[in-house]
Structure 1
Amino acid sequence: MINTVKIEALLKQKSIKSTAMRNLVLQYFLKINKAIDLKDLEIEFHYSDRTTLFRTIKTFEEKGVIHAIKDGSNTTKYALCNEKCTAENHIDIHPHFYCEKCKSTTCLRLISIPTINIGSDFTINATELIVKGVCDKCNQVA
């Protein structure tokens, strides 16, 4: 079980009011350590309503607790941010791996996406890199 003191401290650091649902959702993200979508949360927290879960996700994203991932699966997934991310500055500039077999998405935090200089007439708002293939777990089964 994840330390509740750590969860409370992280929420306080990000200026997020602690609630039972926020604590549970953050604990779940820390436990699973992979990207999940809103449907995954709805299954895990079937006793909660969708609106509460959606608001929790949006608050976490706005405050730099999690980041959104568009992996080509037609659903937005979310994963924990680097602890240094803030509401103003998400520094999670890393690729994500999408397994075409089990449909899971994993952050590749040890790999950085290089800065791209495309000239002064352009403004880059986001850089995304999705690597697709078969994950290690699915490769072991095959």
Structure 2
Amino acid sequence: MTHAKTTYQFEDLLDKHQLKKTAPRLRVLSMMYSKNTATSQPDLESVMHDIDRVTLYRILNVFEEKGIIHKVFDLNGTANYAICHSNCGAHKHHDEHVHFNCTNCKNVYCLNELTLPALNLPGGFKAEGFTLYASGLCSKCSKKAN
């Protein structure tokens, strides 16, 4: 995929969510889509030196509110962000999948391909979403350990 086509797709995504197409928003989307792991705000700050901390915080916040990204916590309790599926919307996330925390490299992976069991709650309870965490060695770290 060419850079121009990627930028065009990110602009469409921002249009879909009624967000202005700013250079910082497009850069954050590009960075997040290029990773196969969730990423934290400090990690983004370390590679996006021209976007200040407050602007980055606001971008992540509005992306989460609009259903573009979702928040997942790592083993240290640090918030990480990952791209949502297309069926997420404003204030309504549908990212009920396993989040895998690697105990070696500390990366957080969204395992979207795993089917989760039905959640049978007691009477009167109504789930609006849930998160399932697993921890251990990711495929890269597991290969290195062998």
TM range (shorter): over 0.9
Alpha-carbon distance between aligned partners in 2 of 1:112 and 1:50, rounded to the nearest angstrom = 36
Structure 2 residue ranges without an equivalent (≥5): none
SS in 1 for 2:31: helix
TM-score using structure 2 length? 0.90
Alpha-carbon distance between aligned partners in 2 of 1:114 and 1:21, rounded to the nearest angstrom = 39
Name the residue aligned to 1:15. 18
Alignment of 1:87-106 (within 5 A): 87-106=90-109
1:28 lines up with 2:21 in the alignment: no
Name the residue aligned to 2:61. 58
Name the residue aligned to 2:112. 109
Alpha-carbon distance between aligned partners in 1 of 2:33 and 2:112, rounded to the nearest angstrom = 15
Alpha-carbon distance between aligned partners in 1 of 2:18 and 2:66, rounded to the nearest angstrom = 8
Structure 1 residue ranges without an equivalent (≥5): none
Alpha-carbon distance between aligned partners in 2 of 1:14 and 1:34, rounded to the nearest angstrom = 23
1:83 lines up with 2:86 in the alignment: yes
Name the residue aligned to 1:140. 143
Question: How many pairs align?
Answer: 142
Q: Check the 8 A contact 1:67/1:78 in 2, yes or no.
A: yes
TM-score using structure 1 length? 0.92
Shift in CA distance, 88/115, structure 1 to aligned 2, threshold 3 Å = farther
Aligned-pair CA distance for 1:18: 1.1
The percent identity for this pair of structures is 38
Aligned-pair CA distance for 1:59: 0.5
SS in 2 for 1:39: helix
Q: Check the 8 A contact 2:94/2:129 in 1, yes or no.
A: no
Q: Check the 8 A contact 1:93/1:112 in 2, yes or no.
A: no
Q: Check the 8 A contact 1:64/1:86 in 2, yes or no.
A: yes
Q: Deviations over 1:27-63 (max 9, x none)?
A: 1111113100011111011222100000000010000
